[in-house]
Amino acid sequence: MKKLTLVVVIVIIVGAVWLSNRTPDSPFAAQSAAVPSAALIQQGEYVARLSDCVACHTIPEQPAFSGGLKMATPIGAIYSTNITPDKQTGIGNYSLADFDRVLRHGVAPDGHRLYPAMPYPSYAKLHDDDVKALYAYFMHGVAPVAQVNHSSEIPWPLNMRWPLAFWSVLFTDGGSYQPQADKDEKWNRGAYLVQGPGHCGSCHTPRGLAMQEKALDESSEQFLAGALLDGWYAPSLRNDINIGVGRWSDEDIYQFLKNGRNKHAVVYGSMTDAYNNSTQFMSDDDLYAIAHYLKSLPSNPQLDGKAWQHQPTTVSTEMATQPGAHTYMTRCAACHGSDGMGREQWIPPLAGATSMLTHHDASAINITLNGSSRIVSQGVPDAYRMPPFRQQLSDQEIADVLSFIRTTWGNHGGDVAVDEVQAMRHDTDPASSDVIILQMR
């Protein structure tokens, strides 16, 4: 019996070592990259837009894709890497197979595993043709930049990466996206864009104890059901009335992704980067395909709660004795209106806003404290930026005004506690006026 136990232990150890050190298969392993056509490079540039590569791999005042963005994790900070074709500090020596393994498997040419801050669980669904095009673009359409990568700030032994091999086995789905035969072409294109290059679930899907996305496709009601991330609440993208896009039409979703705004909302938080560098550059067909797919995702009434019903109210001086009402009148009403309805598509309504209906109050606190980043649409900066109020309002005043907004006009998000404002003030900085914009060639 002891011998059998020893054999089992040895087999497990050998299997673990093999798994953590094996090189993933790639369909491009036997291929040598030929000089790509201009059309393939252009296709790759578009796939880079779909995938929003620049948002993580570029920092203000530095060349595109040269890395250096600091990303906080529960175990320490990591930095995005240089993905320009520089041969010493970038990916200039990568073969097509190397590139594929990094992109779709999270394994670098030297065998080390990437942290899943790189959304390879989503990129795993990329089609082979898009991978080839993306490689052609990065090797021939991006200027090489000599920029040494930063080491992570994760302490030993937590910085050991071999356990990520087991994480990948448990929490990723292998293989490119496969169209569903019972769905139309538009739906399948939208599903591919959302699940694959768009990696929407990286922000909008709740995560488990191992920081894994709880779902990678529509087979689970957890997929795109909303999640807290980096001091923001990424709302549900399902047909939830309160916390999702249930009140949005296909056209509303298209307008939001194309113009950064619609009658319901304006992009802010992490979505600003996605809009500035990705969604506004997508084709109309792709944007409508995304909308078509998202509108097919059913709501979860238990999670969403009772549907919002607008209760028209005009905030007046007579209400100034209510906590938060006076602050709203003096600080908020000029833009958002005494009726909370905003200014058409330019300034969003607070009546019925997702951030005022969900019990998660992170986004409401964050944007009030720190303001919003600059929206740049078709090269033109937005003139209607939300200003930061961290210097003008105390924690109590912010808690009071947000509690007022979240319980007026039929909003039922609930009160905001002052200690939550204090914590957000401590953990965040005002939104930078700098924006990262990848210029089209």
The domain segmentation of the chain, as residue ranges, is 185-255+267-304
pTM for this structure?
0.92
User: DSSP assignment, residue 78?
Assistant: E
pLDDT of residue 429: 72
pLDDT of residue 71: 87
- Whether the per-residue pLDDT at 20 is higher than 60: the answer is no
Average pLDDT rounded to a whole number, residues 260-272: 94
What is the DSSP annotation of 400-431?
Answer: HHHHHHTTSTT--S----HHHHHHHHHH--PP
Angle between helices 38-51 and 128-140 (to 10 degrees): 100
Q: Give the bridge partners for 266, in sequence order.
A: 261
Percentage of residues in the chain having pLDDT higher than 70: 92
- Whether the per-residue pLDDT at 270 is higher than 70: the answer is yes
The enclosing H or E element of 165 equals helix 164-171
- Whether the per-residue pLDDT at 12 is higher than 50: the answer is no
pLDDT of residue 3: 58
User: DSSP assignment, residue 358?
Assistant: S
- Whether the per-residue pLDDT at 222 is higher than 60: the answer is yes
Q: Give the bridge partners for 381, in sequence order.
A: 376
Average pLDDT rounded to a whole number, residues 147-161: 90
Sign of CA dihedral 332, 337, 341, 342: negative
The enclosing H or E element of 140 equals helix 128-140
Could you tell me which of 216, 233, 282, 217 has the C-alpha nearest to residue 253?
A: 282
Q: How far is CA 225 from the centre of its chain?
A: 13
Alpha carbons 431 and 177: distance in angstroms, whole number:
36
Average pLDDT rounded to a whole number, residues 335-364: 94
| Known binding-site residue numbers for heme c | 53, 56-57, 200, 203-204, 332, 335-336
CB-based contact 83:53 (threshold 8 Å): yes
| Known binding-site residue numbers | 53, 56-57, 200, 203-204, 332, 335-336
> How far apart, in Å, are the Cα atoms of 308 and each of 58, 246, 259, 265, 365?
39, 11, 26, 16, 21
Token representation of residue 351: 């009546």
* Structure-model confidence comparison of residues 61 and 348, the more confident one: 348
Alpha carbons 49 and 45: distance in angstroms, whole number:
6
Least confident span in 16-20, 21-25, 202-206: 16-20
Alpha carbons 172 and 192: distance in angstroms, whole number:
16
Region for 308 from its dihedrals, namely left if φ exceeds 0, alpha if ψ lies in -120 to 50, beta otherwise:
beta
Average pLDDT rounded to a whole number, residues 363-368: 96
Confidence of residue 16 (pLDDT cuts 50, 70, 90): very low
Question: Kindly report the CA angle at 282 between 178 and 440, in degrees rounded to 5?
Answer: 125
Confidence of residue 380 (pLDDT cuts 50, 70, 90): confident
User: DSSP assignment, residue 332?
Assistant: I
Cis peptide before 179 (omega within 30 of 0): no
- Whether the per-residue pLDDT at 428 is higher than 90: the answer is no
CB-based contact 333:395 (threshold 8 Å): no
pLDDT of residue 38: 96
Alpha carbons 179 and 217: distance in angstroms, whole number:
12
pLDDT of residue 29: 87
Alpha carbons 337 and 340: distance in angstroms, whole number:
5
Angle between helices 185-195 and 284-294 (to 10 degrees): 90
- Whether the per-residue pLDDT at 438 is higher than 80: the answer is no
- Whether the per-residue pLDDT at 439 is higher than 70: the answer is no
pLDDT of residue 2: 60
Percentage of residues in the chain having pLDDT higher than 90: 74
Could you tell me which of 202, 238, 190 has the C-alpha nearest to residue 55?
A: 202
CB-based contact 257:287 (threshold 8 Å): yes
pLDDT of residue 317: 78
Report the relative pairing of strands 227-229 and 232-234 from DSSP bridges: antiparallel
Least confident span in 25-34, 257-266, 308-317: 25-34
Token representation of residue 128: 């082979």
pLDDT of residue 21: 54
Q: How far is CA 412 from the centre of its chain?
A: 26
Average pLDDT rounded to a whole number, residues 408-423: 97
Based on its alpha-carbon atoms, the radius of gyration of the chain, rounded to whole angstroms, reads 23
162-217, pLDDT tens digit by residue? Answer: 888 889 999 998 789 999 999 999 999 999 999 999 999 999 999 999 889 999 99
Q: Chain-wide mean pLDDT for the chain?
A: 90
Confidence of residue 15 (pLDDT cuts 50, 70, 90): very low
